[in-house]
Amino acid sequence: MMQNDNNKESNLTGQTPPLPVLATSIATQMQSDISSIHIPQPEVYFDDSTLSPNLASKLAGDIIVACTVTFGFSPFLSVIDKAIIQKAAGTHSILQSSLESIVNITRNPGSYIRSPMFLMMWGVYASTYCTVNCLKTITEHQDHFKETNSPNTSNDARTFGVFATTTIVNSGTSMLKDRFYAKHFGNSTAAIKIPKLTYGLWGLRDCMVIGSSFVLPDLCCKVLTDNTKMDPKTALTVSQLTCPIVAQFLVAPVQLLGLDVYNRPLQNLPFREVITERLRFQRNNMISIVGARISRIAPAYGLGGIGNTYFRDKWRDQLLRKEMRRN
C-alpha cells in the first residue's frame, strides 16, 4: 500500500511542475506575447513655430522669406500704382497705362529690375514684411522662453506695438515711393511741392492698409473659429484674403483724394466749389480706382500674406528638424 502511495506521488509530481518553475514559464510566455504586439508610433508635427531657441536663425528666415515673397509680386504692384497715378492725373486709363508698362517690362526686364519704379516698390513691401515678421518672432520667442519672474505684457499692447511700428515703416517708405510716382507719372501741371494734406491722407491710407492686412485678420480668425466650424488655419487664410480686399472700399477714396489735392490744388475756388469738384472727381474715378486697388492688394497682402506665413513656417520647421538631428 505504501508503494501505491509513492507511485501516486510520483505521478502527481510528473504531471504538475513546481510552483517557481510554473511562474517562470508563465512570465516568459507573457513577455513573448507582449513583445510581439506592434504599437504604431504617432507622427511628430511641429505646430509651435516658437520651439526653436535659435532666435537669430528665425529672424534670418523672416528676412529671407519677406524679401523673396515681395520680390515676386512687386512688379505687378508697380504697374497698378503707376496706372492709378496716371488715371488720377487724367493722362491714361487704367488699362492703357497697365498695358504700356507690361510691354516696357517685357522688352527690358533687366532695366526694369534696376529702375526706381521697381526698387522703391520692392523696398516698401520688403521692409514692411521684414518688420512685421521680425516683431512677431521676437514677441513669440519672448513668450515661449521667458523666465517665470519676468513681467507680463498684455496681448493688446503687443498687438498695438506691432501695428504702430509696422505702420511707421510702411508709411514712411510708401510716402517716398508715392512722391516719386506722383512726380514722374502724375500731372505735369501739378504742384511742385506735395501738399501736407496729401501726405496726411496717404498716412491715413497706410494705417488702414496695415490694420486690415496684419491686425484685422487675426481678430477675424478668432471670431470665425469661435462661431463657425472652421479650423484655425482655414479661418486665418479666409481672413487674410478677405479683410484687405474689403478695406479697399474705404482706402481707395482716401488715396484718390490725396492725389486729387496734389494734381488740382484748386486754391482760387470758393470752398463750396472745391468740395463739389472733389466729390465729382471721386464719383467719376471711384469704380476704376477701387478695382485697381483690389487687384493690387490681393497679391500684396492677401496672397502675399498667405505665402509669407507658409514659407515662414516651413523655414522654422526645417530649422527645428535640423536642431533635433544635432541633438
Q: What is the pLDDT of residues 81-139, one digit of tens each?
A: 999 999 998 899 999 999 999 999 999 999 999 999 999 999 999 999 999 999 999 98
Rounded distance, CA 203 to CA 51, Å?
Answer: 37
pTM, rounded to two decimals: 0.74
Rounded distance, CA 190 to CA 185, Å?
Answer: 11
Residue 296: predicted pLDDT = 86
Rounded distance, CA 56 to CA 61, Å?
Answer: 9
Dihedral sign for Cα atoms in the order 262, 76, 109, 169: positive
Can you spell out the DSSP letters for 83-112?
HHHHHHHTS--HHHHHHHHHHHHHH-HHHH
Q: What are phi and psi of 150, to 5 degrees?
A: -75, 145
Residue 283: predicted pLDDT = 93
Q: How many CA atoms lie within 13 A of 57 on its CB side?
A: 16
Residue in this structure with the C-alpha cell 518688420, named with its chain if needed: 131
Report which of 82, 136, 84, 86 is spatially closest to residue 105, judged by C-alpha positions: 82
Q: What are phi and psi of 16, to 5 degrees?
A: -115, 115
pLDDT above 70 as % of the chain? 80
- Backbone dihedral region of 240: left (phi > 0), alpha (psi from -120 to 50 degrees) or beta? alpha
Cα radius of gyration (the chain): 33
For residue range 4-34, list pLDDT tens digits in order. 555 544 444 445 555 555 545 554 554 555 4
| Angle at 59 (CA atoms; ends 73, 53), nearest 5 degrees | 140
Residue in this structure with the C-alpha cell 466650424, named with its chain if needed: 229
- 294 contact partners, CB below 8 Å, separation of at least 6: 245, 248
For residue range 178-216, list pLDDT tens digits in order. 999 998 898 776 667 889 999 999 999 999 988 898 889
Rounded distance, CA 205 to CA 81, Å?
Answer: 14
